[in-house]
Structure 1
C-alpha cells in the first residue's frame, strides 16, 4: 500500500470528523467563486456606471474573503492535527520514517482540499445564477441574465485555494518534525492550570469596556476625548474593546464561575460542580478563542447591521432629498394625466446672503407657494411667516456643526428667522438646498429675476424610469426621484449582498471554530464521563451538564459580540442622525438564529462523542 493509498484510506475513515471542516471550506469556496464569477461576468460589466462600482466592491470583498478563509483553514487544520498527534506517534513507533509520515499527512490534507475545491466550484457554478438573481433583486434591476460558465473564474478560484491548501498541507507535513514522540502521545492530555480569579484584572476589564463604550458614544464634534485623540480614536476604541473582551473572559468570567462554585445551593445540584470545574479548567485557552470569536461576531454584526440599515432606509433618503417625483426648470411638459397626482408651477428668486464672513446663495419662495407644497407633502401644523419674519429651510442643517441664523438682511430690509425646517419642500438638486420663505408682499418687493420650475408627483414612481428618461432629455436642471432611488438601491443593494455573504462566511467560520474546539475537548472528556456512568450518574444529568458547558462557550462570545455590535451601531446611527433600530434588531435576530443552530449541532456532536460507548 502506497502512502497515497494510506492517505485516501485515512480520509475516508476520518470523513465524519472532517465533515464540518469540509462543509465550512466548501461554503467559503462557493462564496468566493460567486464573487469571482460576478467579477468576470459580462452582464455585470455591461451595466451602468453605478454597477461598475459594484465590480470594485466584489474584487475588494473577494480579497478580504481570501485572507480570512486562509486564516480559518490554517486555524481549523491545527485543531485536527492536535487531534491526530497520537495516531502520528503510533506510526512513528511502528518504524515508519518521519518523512513518510509527513508526506502522508501532506497527501491527506491535499486530498481534502481538492475534494472541497471540486465540490465548491461545482456547487458555486450551479448556485451562481441564484446569487446573481439575489444581487439584481437587491439592486432593484429587472434584467435577464444568461447562465454562462466562466473558465477565468474557475481558474482564478482554483489557483487561490490550491495555494492555500498547499500551505496548510505543509503545516501538517511539519508536525512530525516539530514534536518529540512523547509529546505527540500526550498532546491531548496536555491541560491548563486552573485559573484563579484576579480581582484587579476583573476591575480593569470592566472599566476598559466601559471606557471603550463611553468613547464610542461620544459626540465627535464636541467631545474633548475625540479632539485630543484625533483620527486615532477609532483605533483606541478597537484596542480597548479587544483588551476588555480578553480580560472579561480571562478574569471576570472566572470570578463569576468561582462565585457560582462557592454557592452550595447551586454547585451541588446535579453535575453543576463538575460543569463549573470543567469550564474553569479550560478558561485560559478558551479566553483567547472566545475573544477572537466575540471580536469577529461584533465585526460581522456591526458591518452587516450598518449596511442593512442603509438599505432599509434607502427610500427614506430619496424622499428626503427628492420629495417630488420630477422637478425641472422651465415650462410644463406633456405627461399622461392618468399617472399624474400633482403638478404645480413654482416661481422663485435667488439672492446671496452674507452673515459673518460667509456668503451663500439662497432660494426665495412666497408663503402661498410654500403652504401649497408643504400640504402636498403631508406636513402638519403649517404656518406662514408674519410681518418682518422669514422661515428658513436647510435640509443639511446639523446642530452639531451648523450655525443657526437668527436674522438676515435682504435689500436693506432686516428679517428675523422665526422658524427652521430641516426638510425641503422641493427637490434639492434642482432648486438648491437652502431657502427662505417670505410673505407674498415681501417676496414681490425683492427686485430679482424670477425663475420658473415645475414640480410633478406621479403614481408608482419607482416604475416610471422611461418617463423619467424622456423628461430628462427634454428639460434642464432636471431631478428625478426615480433615478435617485435606482442609484441608491443599486449601491446599497450590492453592498448589502456583499456584506451579507461575507457575514455568513464569518459566522460559519466562528461557529466552526467553536465546534472544533468543543469536539476536541469532548475527546478529552470521554474517560471522565465513563467514570460518572460507572458510579451511577444518569445520562440525563450528563446531557444536562454537556448543554451547560457548550452553552457557556456559545453564549458568552455571542452576548458580548451583540453588546459590542449594538454599541457600535448606536454610535453609527447617532452619527448619521437616523433611526436604525428596526434593521439592527432584524440583523441581530438573524445572526443569533444561525448561531443557535451551530450550538445545537455542537451539543449533539459532543453528546455523541462522550456518550456513544456508555
Structure 2
C-alpha cells in the first residue's frame, strides 16, 4: 500500500470529521474565484459605469479574503494535526519511519486541498451566473448575467490556493519531527494554557472595554479628546483597549461569574449542573484566546456588514432628500424646453418657477466657522415654495416680512451655522433675518444649492439686486436612467441639470458593489468563525468521552447528558457572539452619529441574519458532539 493510497483511505474513513473543514475551504475558494471572475468579467464592464473602480475593489477584497483564508486554513490544520498526533505516534511505535509518516500527512493534507480546489472552482463556475446577477441587481441594473468561465480567474485561484495548501501540507510533514513520541501520545490532552482568574485582571478588563466604548461614543467632530489625540491614534487606542479587554473578560470576568453560580449549592446539585459549570470554568479560561478571536471576528463582520447595509438601505431616502423633483434644470432656451417636453412621459407635474441668485454678506454665519464672509444663495418667495411643497405633499411655510427660512438638508448642529436669529445682507445692505431653518428642500440641491425662502414682498425688493433665474422642476412617475440620459443630451452644461434617477443609480452602484463584497466576505468570516469553534469543541468532545461514559455507567440518562452538552456548547458559542454584537452595536452607534443617519433597522436585520447563520453552526456542533458521546457510550457499554 502506497503512502498516497493510505492518505486517501484516511480521508475516506474520517470524512465526517473533515467535512466542515473541506466545506469551509470550498466556500472560500468559491468566493475567491467569484471575485476574480467578476474582476475580469466583460458583462460587468459593459453594464456598469464604474467597472474599473469595481475591478480594483474586487482585487482588494480578493487580497483580504486570501490573507484571511490562509490564516484560517493554517489554524484549522493545526487543530487536525493535534487530533492526529496520537495516531501519528502509533505509526511511529509500529516502526514506520518518520519520513514516511511525514509524507503521508503531507499527501493527506495536499489531497484535501486539491479536492477542495477542484470542487470550489467547479462550484464557482456554476454559481458565477447567480453571483454576477446578484451583484448587477444590487447595483441597480436589471440584467441576467450569462455563464462565463474565466481561464484567468481559474489560473489565479489555482496558483494561489496551491501555494497555501503546499505550505500547510509541509506543516503536517514537519509534525513528526517537532515532538517526542510521548508528547504525541499526550498532545490531545493539552489545551491552551489555562490562566487563573484575577480580580485585578477583571477590573482592568472592564475598565479597558469601558474606555474603548467611551472613546467610540464621543462625537468625532466636537470631542476635545479626538481633536487633541488625532483620529488614527484614537482608533488604534479603541481597537487595543477593546481587544485586550475582551481577552481579560474571558480570562477572568466570566470565571468569576461561573464561580458565583457554583456557590449556589441548591441549583448546583440538580442534574449535571456541577459538571457543566466545572467544564465551563476550564473551557472559558483555557480558550480565552480563541474566544477573543471569535468575539473580535464577529464584531468586525457585523460592524462592516451592518454599516454598508445601512448605507445601502438609506440610499433612496438620501436621494429623495437631495432631489425632491425627478428632474430639474435652469431654463436657457425655449427650443430646448420643447425637446425635453417631447421626451417626457408619465408626468405627475411640470412647473416653471422664478428664483434669484444673490450674493449675501454672511459674516454672522461664517465668523464661527472661519469661512468666507460672502455666499451665493438661491432665493425663492413663499408663494413658490408653497406651490411646490403642495405638489410634494410637504407642509406650508409662512415667512414674516424682512425674515427668511433657509433650506439646508445638510444641516448639522455640530458644525453648521446657528441660523435662527442671524442676519445676512445684500451688497446694497438689504437685510433679512432667519426666523428658522429646515432640513428639507423643494428644489434639487444639485441645481439650486442651499435655498432661502423670503416673503413675497421681500422677493420683489430683492429682484433689483440679484440675477433672475428660470427653473423647470419636473415630476415623473417611474422615471428611468435612460430618460435622464436622453434629457441630459439636450441640455447645455450651464443648465446644471440634476436627476434623481441618475443620482440614485450612482449611489446604489457604488454602495451595492460594497454590499456584495462585504456580504460575501462576511459569510466567509462567519463560516470560518463557526468552523473554528466547531473544530475546537469537537476536539474537546474527544477528551470528554471517558467522563460522559462514566456518567453513562453510573445511570445518568441520555437526555441529561444531551442537556449538559447543549448548555456547555451554548456558552462557548454565544458568549463570544454576545460580546461581538455588543462591540459592533457601539461601533455602529458611533458610525450612525458620524453620518447623521438612522441605521437601527438595517443593523438589526443584519445582526439577526448573522445570528441565525451562526446558530446553525451551534446546532451542527451540538449534534456532532452528541453523536461522538453516544457512539462511544455504545462502544464502551
Asked if TM exceeds 0.5, the reply is: yes
What is the match of residue 398 of structure 1?
412
Q: Do the aligned partners of residues 467 and 49 (structure 1) sit closer, same or farther apart at CA in structure 2, a change above 3 Å counting? A: closer
User: How far, CA to CA, are the matches of 1:296 and 1:552 in structure 2?
Assistant: 17
What is the match of residue 334 of structure 1?
341
What is the match of residue 167 of structure 2?
167
1:443 is aligned to 2:459: yes
Aligned-pair CA distance for 1:285: 2.9
Q: Residue 9 of structure 1 aligns to a residue in which SS? A: helix
What is the match of residue 419 of structure 1?
436
Deviation per CA, 1:103-126: give whole Å up to 9, x if none: 111111000000000001001100
Deviation per CA, 1:57-82: give whole Å up to 9, x if none: 11111110010000000000000000
User: How far, CA to CA, are the matches of 2:290 and 2:225 in structure 1?
Assistant: 31
Structure 2 unaligned spans of 5+: 364-371
The correspondence for 1:492, drawn from 505, 511, 520, is 511
1:363-378 alignment runs, 5 A limit: 363-378=378-393
Aligned-pair CA distance for 1:12: 1.4
Q: Would the aligned equivalents of 1:216 and 1:568 in 2 still touch at CA under 8 Å? A: yes
Aligned-pair CA distance for 1:416: 1.2
Q: Residue 50 of structure 2 aligns to a residue in which SS? A: helix
Q: Do the aligned partners of residues 372 and 267 (structure 1) sit closer, same or farther apart at CA in structure 2, a change above 3 Å counting? A: same
Greater than 6 Å deviation, 4+ residue runs: none
What is the match of residue 550 of structure 1?
569
User: How far, CA to CA, are the matches of 1:89 and 1:358 in structure 2?
Assistant: 82
What is the match of residue 356 of structure 2?
349
User: How far, CA to CA, are the matches of 1:144 and 1:190 in structure 2?
Assistant: 53
User: How far, CA to CA, are the matches of 2:510 and 2:76 in structure 1?
Assistant: 35
Deviation per CA, 1:147-202: give whole Å up to 9, x if none: 22111111110001000000100110111111111100111123567654311211
What is the match of residue 478 of structure 2?
460
Q: Residue 483 of structure 1 aligns to a residue in which SS? A: helix
User: How far, CA to CA, are the matches of 1:412 and 1:359 in structure 2?
Assistant: 13
384-393 or 505-514: which moved more? 384-393
Q: Residue 565 of structure 1 aligns to a residue in which SS? A: helix
TM-score (norm 1): 0.97
Deviation per CA, 1:344-395: give whole Å up to 9, x if none: 1121111112233532111111111111122222222x22211111111222
1:305-324 alignment runs, 5 A limit: 305-324=306-325
User: How far, CA to CA, are the matches of 2:359 and 2:54 in structure 1?
Assistant: 40
What is the match of residue 125 of structure 1?
125
Q: Residue 214 of structure 2 aligns to a residue in which SS? A: helix
User: How far, CA to CA, are the matches of 2:360 and 2:431 in structure 1?
Assistant: 12
Aligned-pair CA distance for 1:309: 0.6
Structure 1 unaligned spans of 5+: none
What is the match of residue 601 of structure 2?
582
User: How far, CA to CA, are the matches of 1:86 and 1:383 in structure 2?
Assistant: 81
What is the match of residue 31 of structure 1?
31
TM-score (norm 2): 0.94
The correspondence for 1:536, drawn from 545, 552, 555, is 555
User: How far, CA to CA, are the matches of 2:104 and 2:198 in structure 1?
Assistant: 46
1:501 is aligned to 2:515: no
Q: Would the aligned equivalents of 1:374 and 1:425 in 2 still touch at CA under 8 Å? A: yes
Deviation per CA, 1:6-42: give whole Å up to 9, x if none: 2112121221211110011001111111111101111
User: How far, CA to CA, are the matches of 1:64 and 1:195 in structure 2?
Assistant: 33
What is the match of residue 291 of structure 1?
292
Q: Residue 17 of structure 2 aligns to a residue in which SS? A: coil
What is the match of residue 135 of structure 2?
135
1:235 is aligned to 2:236: yes
